[in-house]
């Protein structure tokens, strides 16, 4: 089925997601609701209605040949939001995806339809978060997209595959919109590569939150009213949103297809055979959810225990490091003390050596001085002897001993003879 509009032709569509804005400033649901004393539809008590997010109930209402018109209008709500033309005719297809190879994973879809333009639309309803939504979506899309090639058809025969995921949990915590559409665009120029890929994600908790804040107008928005139909009953949280149901009742008075869907929903919930099948499936899902929660709690306990062990191990390592650091500081301090002691000893040794050298120098200076004085005295004595002064006077005046004076006299006489 060809696309009638591109990204830039419909408002509020971002590159990879569409945020449904209902212009809540112009809508007051309390004014829309008319005064009445009775229900507009004959139905069973709200809490006994099936939760249409349980795959069994969803398939009974939307994957039923007799409800083909309901399915067509429901799907058109998504297509119009994505800027595609509405489908006029549809065919329910086999939900079993056969294995291409022996080891391929067997896949069973919730709802698969083919349009008059040979497009495939796969709707998956997910009650609990199995933490594989995105990868599973891409796997289903890939298997459906390549399916025509099983018959050796040409690539030109490949058609669009649209996947719609309705989830009873939040998936994109960083996006405020409850309905997002992912397509294939060039990253910088925002040009669409192909319309063959389109993945819708509906997060019911965000939808209900937007409803409580009066941000939705199901009177003017086709998709919103159908999504609210799915969100009216919530068995996961054991809630029935009576205000949503009453609003849809009033809208159904002027929306024939919605009226028919709500009647079918009530009849389905009253039928014993369907109720038993539904309750069995609900129990299976809730039991699986309980097991998953228990497993998550156990995993949390294991992770907590691991974290405690890691924290304790880290504390031991930190303590050991502190001990090693303290020991290093002690060793460094001891080394500094030893170095200081060595310096003191070296200083003391140097001081002692300097003292000895000083004393030696002083002694040598004294000796030289004495020798100089002696030499001077001897020279004076020589001069006096040459002048003919007697021995006694020279001894007395110079302080020399008589033998030294006699030796000088002999020295003079010897030199004179020569």
In a domain, 383, yes or no: no
Are the C-beta atoms of 178 and 216 separated by less than 8 Å?
no
Confidence of residue 44 (pLDDT cuts 50, 70, 90): low
In a domain, 343, yes or no: no
| Coil/strand/helix, residue 197 | strand
Please give the tally of structural domains in the chain: 1
Rg (CA), the chain: 54
pTM to 2 decimals?
0.65
Domain limits for position 52: 7-270
In a domain, 12, yes or no: yes
What is residue 147's predicted lDDT score, i.e. its pLDDT? Answer: 78
Closest of 165, 181, 138 to residue 14, by C-alpha: 181
In a domain, 32, yes or no: yes
Residue 334, pLDDT above cutoff 60: yes
Confidence of residue 105 (pLDDT cuts 50, 70, 90): low
Closest of 114, 140, 105 to residue 126, by C-alpha: 140
In a domain, 407, yes or no: no
Closest of 49, 42, 44, 62 to residue 234, by C-alpha: 49
Give me 275's structure tokens: 């109720």
In a domain, 370, yes or no: no
Q: Computed from CA positions of residues 94, 97, 101, 103, in that sequence, does the dihedral angle turn out positive or negative?
A: negative
In a domain, 160, yes or no: yes
Residue 19, pLDDT above cutoff 80: no
pLDDT average, residue stretch 129-145: 89
Determine the Cα angle at 77 with ends 71 and 82, to 5°: 130
Residue 4, pLDDT above cutoff 70: no
- Going from the C-alpha of 288 to that of each of 109, 126, 129, 342, 404, the distances in angstroms are 19, 13, 11, 78, 133
Query: What's the length of the chain?
Result: 418
pLDDT average, residue stretch 27-37: 48
What is residue 6's predicted lDDT score, i.e. its pLDDT? Answer: 31
Cα separation, 12 vs 180, in Å, equals 11
Are the C-beta atoms of 227 and 179 separated by less than 8 Å?
yes
In a domain, 357, yes or no: no
């Amino acid at each position: 089925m060809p696309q009638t509009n591109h990204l830039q032709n419909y408002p509020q569509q971002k590159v990879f997601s569409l945020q449904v804005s209902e212009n809540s400033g112009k809508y007051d649901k309390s004014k829309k609701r008319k005064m009445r004393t009775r229900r507009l539809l004959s139905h069973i008590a709200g809490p006994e209605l099936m939760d249409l997010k349980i795959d069994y109930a969803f398939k009974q209402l939307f994957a039923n040949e007799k409800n083909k018109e309901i399915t067509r209008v429901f799907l058109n709500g998504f297509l119009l939001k994505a800027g595609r033309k509405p489908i006029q005719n549809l065919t329910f297809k086999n939900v079993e995806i056969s294995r291409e190879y022996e080891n391929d994973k067997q896949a069973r879809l919730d709802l698969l339809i083919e349009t008059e333009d040979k497009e495939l639309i796969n709707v998956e309803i997910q009650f609990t978060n199995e933490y594989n939504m995105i990868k599973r979506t891409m796997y289903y899309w890939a298997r459906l997209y390549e399916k025509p090639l099983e018959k050796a058809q040409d690539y030109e025969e490949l058609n669009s595959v649209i996947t719609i995921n309705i989830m009873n949990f939040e998936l994109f915590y960083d996006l405020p919109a409850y309905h997002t559409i992912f397509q294939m665009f060039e990253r910088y120029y925002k040009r669409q590569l192909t319309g063959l890929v389109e993945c819708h994600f509906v997060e019911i908790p965000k939808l209900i939150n937007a409803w409580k804040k009066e941000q939705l107008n199901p009177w003017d928005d086709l998709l919103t009213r159908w999504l609210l139909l799915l969100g009216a009953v919530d068995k996961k949280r054991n809630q029935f949103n009576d205000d949503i149901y009453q609003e849809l009742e009033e809208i159904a008075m002027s929306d024939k297809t919605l009226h028919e869907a709500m009647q079918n929903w009530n009849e389905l919930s009253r039928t014993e055979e369907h109720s038993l099948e539904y309750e069995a499936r609900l129990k299976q899902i809730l039991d699986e959810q309980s097991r998953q929660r228990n497993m998550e709690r156990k995993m949390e306990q294991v992770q907590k225990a691991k974290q405690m062990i890691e924290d304790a191990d880290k504390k031991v390592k930190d303590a050991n490091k502190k001990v090693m650091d303290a020991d290093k500081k002690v060793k460094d301090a001891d080394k500094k003390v030893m170095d200081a002691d060595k310096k003191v000893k070296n200083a003391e040794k140097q001081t002692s050596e300097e003292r000895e050298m000083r004393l030696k120098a002083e002694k040598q200076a004294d000796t030289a001085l004495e020798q100089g004085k002696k030499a001077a005295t001897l020279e004076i004595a020589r001069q006096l002897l040459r002048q003919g002064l007697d021995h006694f006077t020279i001894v007395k005046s110079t302080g020399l001993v008589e033998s030294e004076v006699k030796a000088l006299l002999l020295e003079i006489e010897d030199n004179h003879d020569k």
